Amino acid sequence: MTIDEAQFAGSCTRVSQKPSRKLPEFAFIGRSNVGKSSLINMLCGNRKLAKTSQTPGKTKLINHFLINDSWYLVDLPGYGFAKISKQGREELRKMINDYIANSEEMVLLFVLIDCRHDITRIDRDFLAGLGENGIPFAIIFTKCDKLGPNALKAQLERNREILSEQWEELPPMFTSSAETGAGKDEILDYIRKYI
Ligand code: GTP
Ligand code: MG
């Protein structure tokens, strides 16, 4: 599948305010700064579509992007960002969880993890919550341009082991780079199967 048309369709903080057209949604989530907005831009071939930043915590709203006039990519705020107040963090957590639990059009959640690091406790808790609520998800290991092929392979293997402690069956997994475009075809083909 290719993305021929991508346009910003609005920001919201809750399901009741999301774009009124009922179309399948594929959402991106992960810790702040993991590269959610950059990945959305890479998939859409438009570096200016979703705002990216070197400062974590850039995306504080739920942003919808209408793709090929037939489905939405959803950019969710990052979770687990330490540098905002406890209350701010709790509000974001609630916003994210409410949206995930209540958006009827949500088909699949892509959980992004920085390929350079071990999956953290925060990520594992988040994944556990998805499992408990029966929310389908896949994992994308981002920024794979930052590791050489051998280091990448070793770190992926390590993360597979960490996930195996938690999950009997591993979720679908992808690697991506917003710099090189790696993973684009695989991720879009995977989405295509659902629409
Ligand atoms: P929040 O909205 O703050 O939660 O962050 P985000 O997850 O949307 O991250 P964003 O896309 O803004 O990227 C954060 C930083 O990582 C930016 O400086 C990006 O340029 C950089 N970055 C994102 N993806 C990649 C990638 O694949 N490779 C490299 N080398 N850098 C990346
Ligand atoms: Mg962002």
Per-residue pLDDT 10s for the chain (195 aa) are 999 999 999 999 999 999 999 999 999 999 988 999 999 999 999 999 988 877 766 678 999 999 999 999 999 988 877 677 788 888 888 999 999 999 999 999 999 999 999 999 999 999 999 999 999 999 999 999 999 999 999 999 999 999 999 999 999 999 999 999 999 999 999 999 998
Residue from 31, 38, 44 whose mutation best tests the ligand 1 pocket (most atoms within 8 A of CB) = 38
In this structure, the residue with its CA closest to atom 4 of ligand 1 is: 32
Beta strands 25-30 and 6-12, pairing class: unpaired
Dist CA 42 CA 142 (whole Å): 12
- 79-115 pLDDT, tens digit per residue, is 877 677 788 888 888 999 999 999 999 999 999 999 9
Q: Is the CB of 80 under 6 A from ligand 1?
A: no
For residue 9, give both structure tokens: 């369709």
Hey, whose CA ends up nearest to atom 18 of ligand 1? 54
Ligand 2 centroid to Cα of residue 168, in Å, is 31
Ligand 1 lined by 63 (C-beta under 6 Å): no
3-state secondary structure of 39: helix
For the entire predicted model, the pTM comes to 0.95
